[in-house]
Amino acid sequence: MCSFADEFAGTTLDRSRWMPQLTATSGYHIGADCYVDDPDNIAVGDGVLSLTVRRLAAPRTCTSPAGDYEAQHTAGMVSTWSSFSQARGRYEIRAAFPATSVAGHHSALWLYPRAPSPGLAHPGEIDIAEMFSNWSDRVIPYLHYASGWDATVTNNYCMIDDVSAFHTYTLEWTATTMTIAYDGVPCVTHRINGTSPGSPSPFDDDPFMVVLTQGLGLGDNSPTFATPQVGTTKVDYVRVWQ
């Protein structure tokens, strides 16, 4: 049964489904970027959601409850925090990432718990697809959680011929396993650890929200003067089934 869907028809973001992420209220940012609710960064048109990181002509103060800072990039991010969350099921996102192989841009299609259960060693995070522009020949999945031991499950070798073309990214999440596939080809299949009562996992029962992000990178993927001034992730649709 379909539990959530958005085909991004029309010309405006459906705010009954999606909430823009704002650094000013949440303090969230990836690198030296500032998440804002602005049509230059979050827009719907031509059947897609466009999330854009954009270099400004000059740095400006980014307001944050964690402390204001100077940022020369604004970024775009939305989530279903206020409208939808679910544990397990099938998640399917058709998206296209920025067309660059120069370091600096970071895109992500991911899930995060709406309200993590107390007492967990790690709240859990499911990165269905992350694109780091300095590794633009692949898209990378990550499962982050701790259950008896620290666990980061990934596969750095899921190659994509053209990340700027639309591809279908899926997660199949059952009570015992997670499978992430790109265009129907499995990339990661993982048996969830810690499903016993004495060793809980965030993937046991916690409902997760859908998050879509376009921002800046860190470390080896930090922006430089060569980084394109604009980078956009386009999302054709998001569909979820129970």
CATH number of the domain where residue 175 is located: 2.60.120.200
Q: Do the domain assignments include residue 215?
A: yes
Whether the pLDDT of residue 92 is over 80: the answer is yes
Look at residue 196 in the predicted model and tell me its pLDDT: 59
β-sheet bridge partners, residue 211: 79, 110
User: 123 with 111: CB under 8 angstroms?
Assistant: no
Alpha-carbon gap, residue 172 to 109, rounded angstroms: 14
Number of domains in the chain: 1
Q: Do the domain assignments include residue 70?
A: no
User: 153 with 190: CB under 8 angstroms?
Assistant: yes
Q: Do the domain assignments include residue 29?
A: no
Look at residue 198 in the predicted model and tell me its pLDDT: 62
Torsion of CA 39, 41, 45, 47, to 10 degrees: -150
Q: Do the domain assignments include residue 38?
A: no
Q: Do the domain assignments include residue 232?
A: yes
User: 86 with 113: CB under 8 angstroms?
Assistant: no
Q: Do the domain assignments include residue 184?
A: yes
Give the model confidence (pLDDT) of 60-78 as tens digits.
999 999 999 999 999 999 9
Q: Do the domain assignments include residue 31?
A: no
Whether the pLDDT of residue 156 is over 70: the answer is yes
Alpha-carbon gap, residue 134 to 106, rounded angstroms: 9
Look at residue 105 in the predicted model and tell me its pLDDT: 98
Distances (CA, A) of 52 to 40, 102, 165, 196, 242: 7, 16, 16, 42, 30
Look at residue 117 in the predicted model and tell me its pLDDT: 85
Q: Do the domain assignments include residue 83?
A: yes
For residue 125, the SS3 value is strand
More confident residue, 100 or 118: 100
Look at residue 146 in the predicted model and tell me its pLDDT: 84
- Give mean pLDDT, residues 39-67: 97
Give the model confidence (pLDDT) of 122-138 as tens digits.
899 999 999 999 999 99
pTM confidence score: 0.96
Residue 193: give the domain boundaries.
Answer: 2-19+76-241
Give the model confidence (pLDDT) of 160-207 as tens digits.
999 999 999 999 999 999 999 999 999 999 999 876 566 678 998 899
- What are the tokens at 179? 């499978």
Look at residue 194 in the predicted model and tell me its pLDDT: 74
